Structure 1
């Protein structure tokens, strides 16, 4: 991942027109380029990345891959960005087959597309990510879809919209060289500060109670309404001021309570009186019936205050006749105009099959409550009389009379004969006997047939399939015989042995693979010859092995056993500085696997905490990252320097900062501080304090004047010496406190000038002295000083240096705590 501009540009940076260009010249880092445009910045990496890496770069150091707003923005990017032969990634990617702006997760609309000619080409080569042609010789600024694994520059943007910039009721939207506030529904104004106004409500006949969160009768104001007793509200009980400046419904009104409209009962009449309107409170209605009907229920009903009528609903009921029932072995079918077995009801009679009607076929209920016609009954139908067959016997049972409906007659034969024809005959409802005429015939066995997929070969002594007939059975190739190979017709009308059949060769029973399904078709029986079984897998699994198997003639299955293997998702790895803990239901990183992410101490998780492998071979949610925990920014102490080493990002966990002071200053506090996993720095704040020199004393018979920049007698303090009248200064006029904590020279002393005068009187006369006073120069003073200094006796010190004896003048001695001064 490249290092962002903001991390390193503070060290070395210069400007190119409207672009800020940072270049460190360090191979371990990747430089970025920033262009400031109005309300936000565009950024691009010097290094080339795959699309996912490019987005991670943008989200780590800026906001996201650039989201193209309009053609003006495209023209600006094409004009400003440098040409790169691999071009630049932008924030569009195909998700579930749909081109989507990844920053907002919104679908790319047809109107917003800017594809190059013949793009996107959808060649089925995973061209799911989008690049923008910057300064391309043709179609500059257009888009092209590319495989996401190709490497291009990351084109990022960093948003400048701040929280609450558009208040609590608006969203800040970036536009070229500015931003705008898009107000939430119901709000308006430059900063979305005003709620829209709805018309003031003035209900008639209803009491109103309102709440106004954003002002009287403005957006989201709600008003509830109540009506007095005896009246009911028409309209909504609550109105809300909507974002279109209209109320959610019409203003309600109060009207008198209404009961359901009453109508005259069928075959009756209704007579009502109304006090407050038709069918309203206190209305009274009287009921009566037409001739031939009688009233059931209350004769009068009243509308109550709750909108209900007193009493039950009355009705006019038709006069009833005695209830009729169906005759024995017959049926009754009635039609009732006004109720069961009432006036004008009509009943038709019929008999069950095998019976015939005696009496009236239809009867009607009259106005007097009586039925027309006579009582009806059903009589059994008669069949012809039967007799026993030759060489046989007859045995009959009669339910309704000799040889009538439902009479049954059984036939039997003498020994040595068998019955041909029905063994039993029954008298039907049509007056006929079931079956044909019965005869007694020589004993026969049932006709044998070759078994399915087999063959039959018979010999007959007394007729086809009669006593003594012998049949041999065999099977076609691929089938095996179950039962005797030969059968004989016995006097008992049965064949020897059990029925033989040819059974298809059986294969081992197949079962569905784990997590799969089995669908078989069987021609000759379950899992037998020519059975075919198709295999499929449940969602999230894929079939390995043959999709279909067939049972062969030798009783084995074709091909190998298939199985269902869980589909595989891409292998996940722990984020840098994080850990990955996965549970796998089936196999590693397959369908149903879940992985939890966590970060090492000193890092915090950005993104989802858990991901799951789906049936579509993809993981839920995006990959998380572990970002180093940040400490507060450190700055160099006054008169000092700060040198930091950052393991991860500027001033984050693991960053170590060393403090040092400029010459003449010494460090107070820790020399090094480290950013801990808790986001705090070790140690206290460090400071640089000026180095102190030894305190200077005012010379005897002299004056001392000092200038202190950083404190008395500290680094860069300067002190000037002067002597009182009658004394001369021997030594430097000015001393400065050096960075080493020492004065640049030894302090001077003030000596009486009598020695100089005496020396002049010895060698010159008074006139010569006067002349010498006129020409006295700095050279004579130097000679005098030298003569006076030679008066001392030189004694070698223990360490080889020459030191002055007590006879040496005081002004060549150093301060009391400075020791002996080396003679020049």
Structure 2
């Protein structure tokens, strides 16, 4: 269209120049008609150009609006707050995309559901909300001799049938009877209903005797027996010695203390006696605030005590780390030209576990999983010195999960550490490293 207009203008100019030479040119009316036609074409071209410009402006405005919404979404990209566990607790406060929270149950409860949940890019949490379910201590039928088991929180108690006693109804109720046959009527008449004891004290009681037709019957209070030296004196029974290794095991799981007419069980420091009076339960110093941890420390309850831990991000050359949750440090973005930084671990996670002494093995202690695999290969390996390799190994449980296995029992008290490295490779080239540090606080006792 622009070329046609140029041709018409050239023709007008050419004819004006050549009129002197008498050349034949189009008439004035024909030239004016051509110019009007060119003017129409230019007007149509201008209208089309303006419409295209308006459309372009609309597209730019739409892109700017979309970019603003995307920025707002990125700023507010957090998952909804998770409910707290009943009879348990939640570790991790960050709800940003890619962050994890962990769930633990109180002693006496077991976790049903996901151990960890991750905030996904869809702003929803992975897995299902777990619950802490009471462990049924009566499942193993611990009560003997027709006793009835009553399940309680982190313990059980036995209601014994008639004639049986003990924490698990393992001991018959002692009944002591002595019969004295008197051939003399005078002696029978002289027999009193109750004979005084020769010696008195907390471990000695008088017996109760009755005489019927010349036969004397003497009995003692529960927990006492007729003394071998004096038929009318009752001596305390040392249940701790008598039932030390009974059919159902020891009377007390830790220490037995003999008392007048009975016994009691005692526990080491950091433990309380359970309702059944036989077992020991751990005191949670962290929950009851019986600890001296500072504000910048985290209290970790252990069996028989507690530990104050402080998680500090590691200081590694060529890289810097920042805390993204109480138990996790992530690497700041690396400069493009800094290849040494890209080879350092992407993150460090810290986990603390309390276990009893001589825990049976082999046993899975911890699992490490990849949220989404970036490369084409995922590898798991165990880091650390001789102590870690003596007690642990790392195995793959599925394509995206590795597990830390306890292979040798640990004698407490002790603190054992292990590091699990998860590496992502793309065509045998490392594209990511993630370190998980697991610390086991092993108690002194195995109950």
TM category (shorter chain) comes to: under 0.3
Whose helix proportion is higher, 1 or 2? 2
Which TM-score applies when normalising by structure 1?
0.16
Higher relative contact order (CA 8 A, sep 6+): 2
Determine which structure has more spread, i.e. the larger CA radius of gyration.
Answer: 1
Which TM-score applies when normalising by structure 2?
0.28
